[in-house]
Amino acid sequence: MTTTAKLMTPKEYIESLRKMNTRVYMFGKKIDNWVDDPIIRPSINCVAMTYAMAQDPQHKDLMTVKSSLTGHTINRFTHLHQSSEDLIYKIKMLRLLGQKTASCFQRCVGMDAFNAVFSTTFEVDQAHGTDYHENFKKFLTMVQDNDFTVDGAMTDAKGDRSKAPHEQSDPDMYLRVVERREDGIVVSGAKCHQTGSINSHWHIFMPTIAMSEADKDWAISFACPSDAEGMYMIYGRQSCDTRKLEDAAIDVGNVKFCGQEALVILDHVFIPNENIFLNGEHEFTGMMVERFAGYHRQSYGGCKVGVGDVIIGATALAAEYNGVEKASAVKDKLIEMTHLNETLYSCGIACSCEGCATKAGNYQIDLLLANVCKQNVTRFPYEIVRLAEDIAGGLMVTMPSEKDFKSDLPVGREGETISQICNKYFATREGVSAEDRQRVMRFLENICLGAAAVGYRTESLHGAGSPQAQRIMIARQGNIQGKKQLAKNIVGIKE
């Protein structure tokens, strides 16, 4: 009897995507070979790194773990956390992958969905006598044994945000059940901003807000394959994305890796009963949303820190190449960047250390500290990027293109080419080539302002909920009444 599930190699992962009939649209066209599309492929490379690292003996303890469902050795991205140590290992794993890719590797959201849906379905079954928890365990066992990538889909289009789902003029503004049958349900709607959606084998769909009795047709959670009939995806636009179509790799910045978002549409998609995890039990929508959000807000204390490590390194290189690395002001700014980055990591570790077991048996982070973690992530990466831009200088955004640095077109009075002129005037300290300086500047441009900024700066603000969402949870979890009582006890105020 084997004790190891199938751990896919990067090559096997990429080939598995080719076998799927995932429907992808971009720039107004259907993309038939989306796996090899130059705009999309870097995001696939990012996911592939999660498979590569699991094959590396050096990172075996971090990247793989024994399944609580089967006892098999599985990729940690498909794991149900069994202890605070598991939660800490998750953060360390995410930081490592951020360091390896300097981008979004896209499997966190599925892992966070697994843990939220597992514990919520257990409590739904206790209250209603349903079979959702058993459904989910069978589904997750299949995912673990095949090492699938699963997208967690929560964010609805929402339409008029002042109105509940049942009040919308277009009921598809929130994903909903349009037909209930003996063998399953038919759903319609969409999920927005879906990280890694087209690079996933399966999707788990969850409600996006707490709902009332009137919204029970929208109170649904289920799984379906990414190429299900009636499901298709429209690729999200990123700043500077068409640079990937040019024959100028340096101008891309991070040529091998990038993140990926898409609009995921479900047009009357059938979901069989065995893949349903919530179906009208509206009073549990808030629990599922809060638990998923908590896990995902914890995640940002790992992945964004790993990317931050690379940004700090690139900024230090830019300072060195510019010849200012010994300036006290530059040193102080690099110290501040490191301080901010390690503070984010500390928050991710703290909410993991304070984790506790759910009724279902898997471990949940401390929700208050997870929301504090994400609240800091909405701020600190912006300051880290600002300091990176400050140290790098204006050349980061005014430098001629790679083609100019290689052009043989004569323009100078002595017959100098564009290439010679660019390399002359953008030369720097002795021992540093103009090309190396160009590479670092373009990387920083990409991470601060380009396609990579989607997966670092902007996602730091809006991913896992915008800042006010965390502040609401901090207010809810902060126990102000308990703190007031502490003060009364100290100063001698009696009820």
The secondary structure of 92-130 as a DSSP string is HHHHHHHHHHSS--S-HHHHHHHHHHHHHHHHHHHHH--
Per-residue pLDDT, 301: 97
Q: Does domain 10-287 have CATH number 2.40.110.10?
A: yes
Question: Closest Cα to residue 154, out of 212, 93, 197?
Answer: 197
H or E, element range at 317: helix 285-322
H or E, element range at 472: helix 467-477
Residue 295 CA to residue 388 CA, distance in Å, equals 29
Say whether 289-485 and 10-287 share the same fold: no
Per-residue pLDDT, 2: 47
Active site (annotated) includes residue 353: no
What's the Cα-to-Cα distance from 489 to each of 9, 78, 251, 485, rounded to whole Å? 60, 47, 63, 6
Sign of CA dihedral 474, 479, 481, 487: negative
Retrieve residue 239's tokens: 């700043």
Residue 262 CA to residue 236 CA, distance in Å, equals 5
Instruction: Determine contact, residues 331/312, Cβ cutoff 8 Å.
Output: no
Per-residue pLDDT, 251: 95
Residue 28 CA to residue 188 CA, distance in Å, equals 22
Per-residue pLDDT, 3: 57
- The fold adopted by the segment(s) 289-485 is Butyryl-CoA Dehydrogenase, subunit A; domain 3 (1.20.140)
Sign of CA dihedral 206, 359, 61, 65: negative
- For residue 41, give every residue at least 6 positions away whose Cβ sits within 8 Å of its Cβ, in sequence order, or none: 35
> Considering the entire predicted model, what is its pTM?
0.96
User: Across all residues in the chain, what is the average pLDDT?
Assistant: 96
Choosing from 22, 296, 351, 445, which is the catalytic residue?
A: 296
Choosing from 46, 224, 258, 303, which is the catalytic residue?
A: 303
Rounded to 10 degrees, what is the CA torsion of 483, 484, 486, 487?
130
Phi/psi at 264 (5° precision)? -105, 120
Residue 371 CA to residue 471 CA, distance in Å, equals 8
Instruction: Determine contact, residues 284/214, Cβ cutoff 8 Å.
Output: no
Residue 347 CA to residue 87 CA, distance in Å, equals 12
Per-residue pLDDT, 457: 87
Active site (annotated) includes residue 351: no
Active site (annotated) includes residue 459: yes
Retrieve residue 375's tokens: 């609240």
Sign of CA dihedral 58, 59, 64, 66: positive
Choosing from 123, 261, 389, 402, which is the catalytic residue?
A: 261
The response to whether 50 counts as a known ligand-binding position is no
Active site (annotated) includes residue 261: yes
Per-residue pLDDT, 5: 74
Domain residue extents for the chain: 10-287, 289-485
Residue showing tokens 């901010």:
340
- List average pLDDT for each run of 10 residues in the chain, which is 495 residues long: 75 98 98 97 98 97 97 98 98 98 96 98 98 98 98 97 98 98 98 97 98 98 98 95 93 94 98 98 98 97 98 98 97 98 98 98 98 97 97 95 96 93 95 96 93 83 92 95 96 93
Residue showing tokens 């002795």:
430
Active site (annotated) includes residue 347: no
Beta bridge partners of 356: 364
Active site (annotated) includes residue 73: no
Cβ burial of 457 (10 Å; 0-12, 13-18, 19+) is buried
Choosing from 132, 235, 300, 321, which is the catalytic residue?
A: 300
How far is C-alpha 332 from the chain's CA centre? 30
DSSP-derived letter for residue 400 is P
